[in-house]
Amino acid sequence: MKSVAIIGAGITGLTTAFCLKRKGIPVTLYEAGARAGGVIESVRREGFLAESGPNTILETSPEVSQLIADLNLQSRRLYTDPGAEARYVVRAGRPVAMPSSQLGLFTSPLLSVRAKLALLREPFVPRRRDGREESVADFVARRLNAEFLERLVDALVAGIYAGDPRRLSVQQALPRLAQLETQYGSLIKGQIRGARERRKSGQTARDRAPKFSFDEGLQVLPDTLATQLGSALKLNAPVGRLAKNGNVWRVSAAGGEGDYAAVIYCGTAFRLAELQVAAPAPVDLSLFAQIRYAPVASVVLGFRQADVAHRCQGFGMLIPGMEGFKILGTIFSSALFPNRAPAGHVLLSSYLGGERHPELAALPAEELTRLTREDLRALLGANGSPVFQHTALYPRAIPQYNLGYGQFKDLMNQIESTAPGLFFAGHFRDGVSLGDSITAGCKMAGRVEKFLFQ
């Protein structure tokens, strides 16, 4: 039986391995670290449940739902509290609720009259036809205006990518926006007409997709996948070299070697650049070292409810850079799911660094906590000392799909063509959300099955 090696036991690698195993294809999953799950790590302590990385999964595609069903995790899945859908954007130093519909923008204090008029004009703005790549900032300013960029999109980009809209490529980082203009000539027209197509395909728009976690946090998912894989998962086993001989790929990892019909790389781009590959056609991976990763620090603080003036009953708040705060945004974790904080307490998960303030992410935990407390005091009225603290640092957290990023995707396609049996999947290729990674893993399993038995 043909077998497959997978490198990297983040959520993409785990999902790919699980899906291949269900198809009856033997797999070996190599992970350089001591645990599986990548940035997913849940910490239960002192009655609080903190997420070191992501807090939720978006159920945007059927593959996500199917994976939960295949793992028999439906009974442990928790959808966000319906009362916690409100999202806030900071304006003039205070959180202002985002409207729940496009029509609501016309009465929202988030935007000026000029910005609201720009929204009315958007369907009549000519589409761009020259095919040139465009930054998110230029795209938004062209179709709407600079205020939309500074007040809303800058905050949104900080929440998704911890990125800079002036550097991110709209075609690569927010492809749906670019597609709406190309296909419908307007973002507003596309939102209306595109909804019908998504219903037919089973896809769900990100802003409407259900969000979920599990009773003991997101780590339930990688832990369950790891259990299902059993001895096929090799921890503390970094892979240093691949060599192709005929139709066989030899994988050299710490602790030994193995021969496989295919290899799937699901790790990080900067580790991919260090991988040595010997194949009949030269494979140079050094270009992937140029992929920029934004550093992010997570600071999770628990307060007595009486010490926080804001009700913190929504999803959380995003903060435009023009507001001058250190944190990029805060998730109201205890409002999303039950048992995240003891009764009478709130749990707030804040993020610092990113492309806006990359230097902050490297600060000591004590300083990160101090800066976060200062901002939460000003924004939410979080006074008094926190009764719970948890920090996590990711020096290279989120790949930035900046202008020119298409060259990296083109190179992956080229290598897959010239070195048959070598595949790439993960957040540096398929999107940075957990839902994107799960979907990518499921689809990659199908691609590899077809390759093996074509």
pLDDT in tens, 404-415: 999 999 999 999
114 Cβ partners below 8 Å, 6+ apart? 145, 147
Of the candidate CATH numbers 1.10.287.3510, 1.50.40.10, 1.10.3110.10, 3.20.20.10, the domain formed by 111-201 belongs to 1.10.3110.10
How far apart CA 410 and CA 424 sit, in angstroms, is: 12
Which residue's structure tokens are 């911890």? 162
Q: Residue 26 — pLDDT band, cuts 50, 70, 90?
A: very high
Element (H, E) at 325: none
**Which DSSP string corresponds to 241-261?**
EEEEETTEEEEEETTEEEEES
Between β-strands 388-399 and 293-304, what pairing exists: parallel, antiparallel or unpaired?
A: antiparallel
Chain centroid to Cα 383, Å, comes to 31
pLDDT at 207 over 90: no
As a dihedral over the C-alpha atoms of residue 397, residue 399, residue 403, residue 409, rounded to 10 degrees, the angle is 170
Which residue's structure tokens are 């991919």? 272
**Tokens for 144?**
């709407």
pLDDT over 90 percentage in the chain: 90
| Buried b / exposed e along 253-282 (16+ C-beta atoms within 10 A) | beeeeeebbbbbbbbbbbbbeebebebeee
93 Cβ partners below 8 Å, 6+ apart? 323, 378, 379
Residue range 270-276: mean pLDDT, rounded: 97
Q: Label residue 122 exposed, middle or buried (CB < 10 Å: 0-12, 13-18, 19+).
A: middle
pLDDT at 273 over 90: yes
DSSP SS3 for 211: strand
pLDDT at residue 206 in the model: 64
Phi-psi region of 390 (alpha: psi -120 to 50; beta: other; left: phi over 0): beta
Lowest mean pLDDT among 124-128, 186-190, 192-196: 192-196
What fold does the segment set 41-105+210-218+293-399 form as a domain? Polyamine Oxidase; Chain A, domain 2 (3.90.660)
pLDDT at residue 201 in the model: 58
Is the domain 4-40+219-290+402-452 a CATH 3.20.20.80 member?
A: no
Lowest mean pLDDT among 61-75, 181-195, 252-266, 435-449: 181-195
Q: Where are the domains of the chain?
A: 4-40+219-290+402-452, 41-105+210-218+293-399, 111-201
| pLDDT, tens digit (0-9, with 9 covering 90-100), for 307-345 | 999 999 999 999 999 999 999 999 999 999 999 999 999
Instruction: Please say whether the beta carbons of 360 and 258 come within 8 A.
Output: no
Q: How many residues appear in the chain?
A: 454
Tell me the HSE value of 156 on the side-chain side, using a 13 A CA sphere.
16
| pLDDT, tens digit (0-9, with 9 covering 90-100), for 69-109 | 999 999 999 999 988 889 999 999 999 999 877 778 888 99
pLDDT at residue 195 in the model: 65
Tell me the HSE value of 347 on the side-chain side, using a 13 A CA sphere.
27
pLDDT at 290 over 60: yes
CA distances (Å), origin 354, targets 20, 30, 57, 165: 35, 29, 21, 12
pLDDT at 163 over 90: yes
Lowest mean pLDDT among 195-204, 257-266, 391-400: 195-204
Count the neighbouring beta carbons within 10 Å of the beta carbon of residue 173: 25
- Specify the DSSP class assigned to residue 11: H
Q: What is the average pLDDT value for the chain, to the nearest integer?
A: 95
DSSP SS3 for 310: coil
Instruction: Please say whether the beta carbons of 111 and 105 come within 8 A.
Output: yes
